Amino acid sequence: MKNRTRKYALVLHLSEDEKRILECKLKLSDMRSKSDFIRMLIVNGFVYTIDYQYLRKYNYQLSMIGRNINQIAHKVNTTGSVYKEDMDAIQIELKELWKTQKAMLARQPIRDEKRDIKNAIERYSL
């Protein structure tokens, strides 16, 4: 076929699960062929990596709060009263913890895969 506009072939090896997922996503997309679907993914697809730095900070802050709670519980058990300074320390750490959690969630993609596929199909088939 001399008139082909695409002259490079792609051989792709998939596991059984990957093949099943590809076929399911292909059906959701209503595209005519796997080739069209894969080309659309190449042109409009998303690849992202997860930065675990925020999760480490989050776990560290959880650990610090746990230690403070244990120290306060020990003081309450020995003295029978709770100090305002101890409660203030926990509130400050909780605020920092919530701030870190919001930052982590803001960096994670929240996607509606079916909607993304349909939007990409519309853009691709101009």
pLDDT in tens, 8-56: 888 999 999 888 888 888 888 878 889 888 888 888 876 565 667 777 8
Secondary element (H or E) of residue 123: helix 113-124
The reply to whether 81 and 57 lie within a common domain is: yes
The reply to whether 103 and 119 lie within a common domain is: no
Cα–Cα dist 18/12, whole Å: 11
Q: What is the mean pLDDT of the chain?
A: 78
Residue 109 has pLDDT above 60, yes or no: no
Alpha-carbon torsion (86, 91, 97, 99), positive or negative: negative
The reply to whether 42 and 62 lie within a common domain is: no
Sequence-separated (6 or more) residues with CB below 8 Å from residue 111? 46
- Show the domain range for 37: 16-48+112-124
Cα–Cα dist 99/93, whole Å: 10
Q: What is the pTM of this model?
A: 0.38
The reply to whether 100 and 117 lie within a common domain is: no
- For residue 1, the model assigns a pLDDT of 54
pLDDT band at 108 (very low <50, low <70, confident <90, very high): low
The reply to whether 41 and 72 lie within a common domain is: no
In a domain, 93, yes or no: yes
CB 61 within 8 A of CB 97: yes
Half-sphere exposure of 16 (CA within 13 A, CB side): 0
The reply to whether 101 and 63 lie within a common domain is: yes
Helices (H) and strands (E) in the chain, counts: 5, 0
